[in-house]
């Protein structure tokens, strides 16, 4: 949680500040509806970025611990097995070539 927070805090803060500045710019418009939408969006982004993403989410993740990353078995069976790194192909190639290190790699 701490490492994730440390690496993402700058990005979340920068994106939030940019979005707040853009939405706050709508407050200077002459149309009342645009002013209300700009103000509402600016406050919503402020709340989401600084209260939800930087306080509530890390606290919930810290409280739940490993349970926060639990995947139900039914969902694990329903999701496809995505092999981005190609470990499955490398293991199949090694097994076909008769290499013993193929036994060490789990597909």
- Per residue in 58-90, pLDDT (tens digit) is 999 999 998 988 899 999 999 988 887 778 888
**Residue among 13, 34, 38 nearest 23 (CA):** 38
- Residue 23: CB atoms within 10 A of its CB come to 19
pTM of full prediction above 0.75: no
Distance CA(96)–CA(89), nearest Å, equals 10
The domain segmentation of the chain, as residue ranges, is 1-69, 71-107
Res. 107 pLDDT band, cuts 50 70 90: very low
**96: pLDDT strictly greater than 50:** yes
If phi > 0 it is left, if psi is from -120 to 50 it is alpha, else beta; for residue 18 that is alpha
12 is written with which tokens? 């979340």
Distance CA(11)–CA(98), nearest Å, equals 47
């Amino acid at each position: 949680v701490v490492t994730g927070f440390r690496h993402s805090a700058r990005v979340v803060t920068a994106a939030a500040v940019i979005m707040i500045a853009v939405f706050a710019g709508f407050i200077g418009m002459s149309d009342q509806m645009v002013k209300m939408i700009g103000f509402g969006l600016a406050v919503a982004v402020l709340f989401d970025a600084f209260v939800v993403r930087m306080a509530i989410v890390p606290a919930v993740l810290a409280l739940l611990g490993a349970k926060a990353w639990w995947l139900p078995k039914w969902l694990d069976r329903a999701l496809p097995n995505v092999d981005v790194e190609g470990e499955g192909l490398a293991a199949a190639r090694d097994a076909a070539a008769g290499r013993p290190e193929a036994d060490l790699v789990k597909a």
